[in-house]
Amino acid sequence: MKKSLNTVFLIAGSEPLGSAGMQADIKAITACGGYAACAVTSIVDEDTRRIKNIFHLPVDLIVSQAESFLGDIETGCIKTGVDGQRHRRIQERVVPASYTHHP
């Protein structure tokens, strides 16, 4: 198992402007000297005026992304984005998996 003490695993959406979601998180984590990895939850189509469309990936796929990463790479923490009920369901499944992989 590859170890990285400064690894932050994100569970977040992607948006094209780079001002929110995983893009903003990756910038902040990198600026602090960390390594960011991510499970993508949704893809947003937007411009500076409005959100045009949001495509949510299936919860099972998101959980599988997280389990694949957590089963292989030690992470210092998990950071989630804002997605209400969907994130709660994802967290309920991912958090126990993180303890299974890294007690």
The structure tokens 């804002």 sit at 82
SS3 61: helix
Its pTM stands at 0.78
Given pLDDT bands bounded at 50, 70 and 90, which one contains residue 2? low
Structural domains present in the chain: 7-101 (3.40.1190.20)
pLDDT in tens, 17-73: 988 889 999 999 999 999 999 999 999 999 999 999 999 999 899 989 988 998 888
Tell me the torsion sign for CA atoms 55, 77, 36, 27: positive
Q: Please tell me the predicted confidence (pLDDT) of residue 92.
A: 77
The larger pLDDT score, comparing residue 29 to residue 87, is at 29
> How far is residue 93's CA from residue 98's CA, in Å, rounded to a whole number?
9
